[in-house]
């Protein structure tokens, strides 16, 4: 769905939230089982078609930090979310699970419509991210977590200097999972 919105944003007219009268999001029915209709947290918002669409339409492309409660509560986001209608499309059901299709239709205030359809989201195996996109995304996530990517690179250098034994041992430990804590 977000890829559909980005496709509409990339058209010559772009997206003007003030001109959107209604939003119809069509997806395969299984996807709607995960919808969070009234999210109160960042995580719940990530599972809300209405709110993710509203955030993207009103505030631009969504990133890892784009679902915060303060953004969700913004009046324009709430108003846009109220204009979103979700539809399970049997034609899209037939394409799932090989694809994860979505279609977004914007009804504009002048009576016209614009629509975009995506068969698989960017990053799925059929639409992988490029190496450059992976590096850019990783750098953004590391900046958010550590203030930069240097701590990660320092750790990688340490692993390289220590040799493969440490990396293999660490891998074995991490694959074991965490032991439950008493009490």
pLDDT at position 177 is: 63
183 falls within a domain:
no
Residues 104 and 153 placed together within one structural domain of the fold:
no
Residues 138 and 108 placed together within one structural domain of the fold:
no
Residue 75, domain CATH: 3.30.1330.120
29 falls within a domain:
yes
78 falls within a domain:
yes
Helix or strand run (H / E) with residue 175: helix 164-176
Which residues form the domain of 86?
2-118
The per-residue pLDDT for range 152-173, each reduced to its tens digit, is 777 777 767 776 677 677 777 7
Distance CA 172, CA 110 (A): 60
Residues 98 and 147 placed together within one structural domain of the fold:
no
Give the mean model confidence (pLDDT) for residues 29-53.
92
88 falls within a domain:
yes
8 falls within a domain:
yes
The DSSP secondary structure of 25-73, one letter per residue, reads EEE-HHHHTT--SS--SHHHHHT-HHHHHHHHHHH-S--TTTT-HHHHT
Residues 156 and 80 placed together within one structural domain of the fold:
no
Which two structure tokens, joined as six digits, stand for 166?
Answer: 């440490």
Total of domains in the chain = 2
The per-residue pLDDT for range 112-148, each reduced to its tens digit, is 999 999 999 998 989 999 999 988 888 888 788 777 7
pLDDT at position 3 is: 96
Residues 28 and 78 placed together within one structural domain of the fold:
yes
182 falls within a domain:
no
pLDDT at position 174 is: 72
6 falls within a domain:
yes
Residues 167 and 107 placed together within one structural domain of the fold:
no
Three-class SS of residue 183?
A: coil
Helix or strand run (H / E) with residue 159: helix 150-162
Residues 65 and 34 placed together within one structural domain of the fold:
yes
Which two structure tokens, joined as six digits, stand for 140?
Answer: 């953004």
Give the mean model confidence (pLDDT) for residues 88-98.
96
pTM across the whole model: 0.80
Looking at 92, 118, 144, which one is the last position of a domain?
Answer: 118
């Amino acid at each position: 769905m977000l890829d559909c919105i980005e496709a509409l944003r990339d058209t010559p007219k772009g997206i003007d939230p003030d001109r959107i009268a209604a939003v119809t999001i069509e997806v395969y029915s299984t996807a709607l089982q995960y919808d969070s209709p009234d999210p109160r947290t960042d995580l719940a918002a990530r599972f809300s078609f209405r709110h993710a669409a509203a955030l993207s339409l009103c505030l631009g492309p969504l990133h890892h930090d784009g679902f915060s409660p303060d953004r969700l509560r913004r009046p324009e986001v709430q108003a846009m979310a109220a204009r979103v209608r979700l539809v399970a499309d049997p034609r899209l059901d037939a394409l799932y699970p090989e694809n994860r299709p979505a279609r977004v239709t914007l009804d504009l205030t002048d009576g016209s419509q614009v629509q975009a359809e995506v068969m698989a989201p960017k990053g799925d195996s059929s639409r992988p991210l490029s190496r450059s996109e992976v590096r850019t995304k990783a750098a953004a996530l590391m900046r958010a977590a550590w203030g930069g990517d240097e701590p990660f690179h320092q750790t990688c250098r340490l692993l390289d200097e220590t040799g493969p034994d440490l990396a293999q041992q660490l891998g074995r430990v991490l694959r074991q999972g965490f032991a439950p804590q008493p009490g």
